[in-house]
Homo-oligomer: A and B are copies of this chain.
Amino acid sequence: MTAQPPAPLRVTVWNENRHEQGATPYEQLDAKVAELYPKGMHDAIASGIEDHLSPEVKIRIATLDEPEHGLTEGVLAETDVLTWWGHVAHGEVSDEVVARVQEHVLAGMGLVVLHSGAQSKIFRRLMGTTGNLRWRSEHDRELVWTVNPSHPIAQGVPHPIVIDEDEMYGEFFDIPAPDELVFVTSFTGGEIIRSGCVFRRGYGKIFYFSPGDEAYPVYHHPDVRRVIANAVQWAAPSREQRGPIVATRSETGWFEDGEQQA
C-alpha cells in the first residue's frame, strides 16, 4: 500500500526573478541579491530541494517574465508541488494565472509559499487575508523553534534553527490560524512570528515558511533547505487524481450499491 504519488515528484520552483536581473528600482539591493544568488534564488531553492529529495524529484523552474509567468495550464497539470517566491512585483502577476494556480491547489496541487510570498496574490487569495506583517531588514538573528515536534515538516532540523541574519517578520501576521502550527520564530529585536504554518484548502496542502530573504543567504542555509524539502514532500498530492470540487445534486441514496465517490 502507498498513499504516495508516483516517483519522481514533479516540483515547479517559481521565482519573481527581478532582483537577480537588476530589474527593480532598488539597485543596491539588486546587486546584493545577484551576489548572494548568482544563478537566481530559484536555483538555490531548487538545489536545496534536490539535495534532499533527489533522485525522487524532478524540478522545473518558472519565472515572472516568461509567457504566462511560466505557469501555463500544461505546466501546472504536470506539477505536484509549486513553490513560490515573489517580492516587489506581486502586482504584475496576472489575475488569470493566479486563478489558475488557485484552481490547481484546490484540486490537489501542493503549494509552498516562501517569505515575502505572504503578500502575493495567490497566498492572499487562498487565505482570504492580507498576509501583512511588521518587517525590518536590519540583520536580526532569527531563531526558528519547533512547536510541533512530531510533524513531518519539522524532522531533521535542530531546535532552534539558528539563522545568523535575516529580515525581521513580526506579528501580528494577518493569516488565518494555521491548521497546524509547526514553527515559531524570534528575532534579535524581540519580535516573534508564526513562521511555519500548515493549511489545507480543497484537496490541496499549503505550507508557509517565513525565513528567507533576498538580502541574506538564507536559502543556502542547510536547515532552511531541509525544511523546504520536507515541506515539498509533505505537500505532495494525497489523492491519485486531480480534480475540482463541484457543487453536485445528489439523489437520496446515491451512495448505495457502491456508487460512492472515489
Contacts and interface: CB of A to CB of B under 8 A. Distances in A.
Interface of A: 1, 3, 52-53, 102, 106, 108, 119, 125-130, 132-136, 138, 140-141, 143, 145-152, 154-156, 158-162, 168, 170-174, 176-177, 179-181, 184-186, 188-192, 194, 199-205, 229-230, 233, 237-239, 244-253, 255-256, 258, 260-262
Nearest to A190: B143
A174 B246 CA distance: 9
Contacts of A150: 108, 200, 203-205, 237-239
A160 to B, nearest CB: 6
A3 B179 contact: no
Number of copies: 4
A245 B174 contact: yes
B176 A134 contact: no
B184 A192 contact: yes
Contacts of A128: 102, 125-128, 201
Q: Which 6 A-B pairs have the closest CB atoms?
A: A158-B260, A126-B128, A1-B52, A3-B155, A186-B186, A132-B247
Contacts of A119: 247
A146 B136 CA distance: 19
B129 A202 contact: yes
A162 B233 CA distance: 32
Contacts of A239: 149-150, 155
